[in-house]
Structure 1
């Protein structure tokens, strides 16, 4: 087994064009509740700007999945990808700093310090992510599969030497590490997304640690065992992969705080 990949190795993986395209195609989006809750939080201290705010930055925006939903609510939206060089932001210039499913890559004390530097007074920070909660078989005859599903996903993440703050654990630990006293934890509604087995394997392949692991271990693909385990779990191991369909339940978490 290879040594654990460094964050910098994994970050460079996200520059790959094919991975970026698969990220957009197979990862879930962010439900309207996320945007609605962020805007309501901002409006609590910015009553004069209920419809449009000035400037925001989306940190580690990747393919821009989350960035686009803010466009009509801000006069200027800047997305910075995790693989880009640091962009200098003026002091006290931003209404919002957003970070979607990337806070586990950040040095949190540095991130907090930078947010305090660039945000206007009462400017807001929104950190949010999603978790893999459950799998639902299309024929709905196999009971609650959550516990076994979690075991299968955990094994895959561990086999790929996945990040300790992966989508399995969520951001409660990150919330605890944030020092800002205005911090607020928001539990969001779950969302189901339909997959067949090949498309769900493509989703799991967008895990940066998986791509890095395969570079070091090209002869051992943990996705193969993962796929076989999912087929057995939903009792469709006799079917062709394309005919194995199910829904994945994603849970969303959000952290809000302000300057």
Structure 2
């Protein structure tokens, strides 16, 4: 399971709720169509459980199709944020682990994890999934990797600029990932390893592209919303404080890997003279959806 500290600070919870992509109706439709295949006569379902719910982006999207929803996360701050953003009275938010779900055997129509499964202990999570999902229910995993960045520039071929910007973002995050590098690679592979471990022979995959018009300032905000960034900066700041006391604002900026990435990108695109708000980009995410039926019992 994820290190709780990755998504516990108020700073990252705020960044997560603002700068992360929100899920489109098309994503929900793919999952619901799969769920309806097993129960063709149903238009609404009894119970959805979401684990690793974060600030509730996916929860609010799926909630209208269920009579009851339980959404959990190990981060107290994320749960507070989700409750504040909640749009439905029949949704309950609680602190809880994906590996120990508070639901009865065979009671859940849909078990959902959106941009979260890469942090789970998969063996324990799949065991719980097999226990609680109804015979005609589904497990749905949703995720995305880093976006494809398309800067609006006049001094470089558009495709070359996109390839350069996207590569710089990927490389920057991998450089700071440390022990979490396998997590980055798993999201980049669209959950190939996670999918291979699902105890089901009936698995369907879908993908949906979502594009957002951002400024470079907004891209920096997205970088700040990533757990490995927060973890890396906490370590660097603690090391600097141990050596020379509290770092100045100038020192902090010089060690901030998000700032280093932004400045490097501006130089490479020959845009160093422009303000970050004036540099426009398109961020294109490929959201992947994995839906599994008829999970086998584990253990």
TM-score between both structures, scaled by the size of structure 1: 0.89
In 2, Cα distance between the equivalents of 1:38 and 1:233? 41
The corresponding residue for 1:135 is: 149
The corresponding residue for 1:190 is: 209
Shift of 1:124: 0.3
Quick one: structure 1 residues 116 and 179, their matched pair in 2 at CA, closer, same or farther if it must change by over 3 Å?
A: closer
Would you say 1:246 and 2:281 are equivalent positions? yes
Superposed CA deviations along residues 89-110 of structure 1, whole A, max 9, x for unmatched, are 1111110000000110011121
Superposed CA deviations along residues 219-245 of structure 1, whole A, max 9, x for unmatched, are 522112210122234442220122112
Shift of 1:182: 1.1
Unaligned stretches of 5+ in structure 1?
1-5
The corresponding residue for 2:89 is: none
The answer to which of 93-102 and 206-215 deviates more is 206-215
Q: Per residue, is there more helix in 1 or in 2?
A: 2
In 2, Cα distance between the equivalents of 1:24 and 1:165? 21
After superposition, where does 1:189-228 map in structure 2 within 5 Å? 189-218=208-237, 220-228=255-263
After superposition, where does 1:120-131 map in structure 2 within 5 Å? 120-131=134-145
The answer to which of 28-37 and 167-176 deviates more is 167-176
Shift of 1:254: 1.1
In 2, Cα distance between the equivalents of 1:225 and 1:18? 20
The corresponding residue for 1:98 is: 112
The corresponding residue for 1:70 is: 62
Would you say 1:114 and 2:114 are equivalent positions? no
Query: Matched residue of 1:164: which SS?
Result: helix
The corresponding residue for 2:197 is: 177
CA root-mean-square deviation: 1.9
Query: Matched residue of 1:229: which SS?
Result: helix
Decide which structure has the larger Cα Rg and report it: 2
Shift of 1:171: 1.3
Shift of 1:136: 1.5
4+ residue runs over 6 A deviation = none
TM-score between both structures, scaled by the size of structure 2: 0.78
Shift of 1:147: 3.1
User: Does the Cα contact within 8 Å between 2:146 and 2:170 map onto a contact in 1?
Assistant: no
1:150 to 156, 166, 169: 166
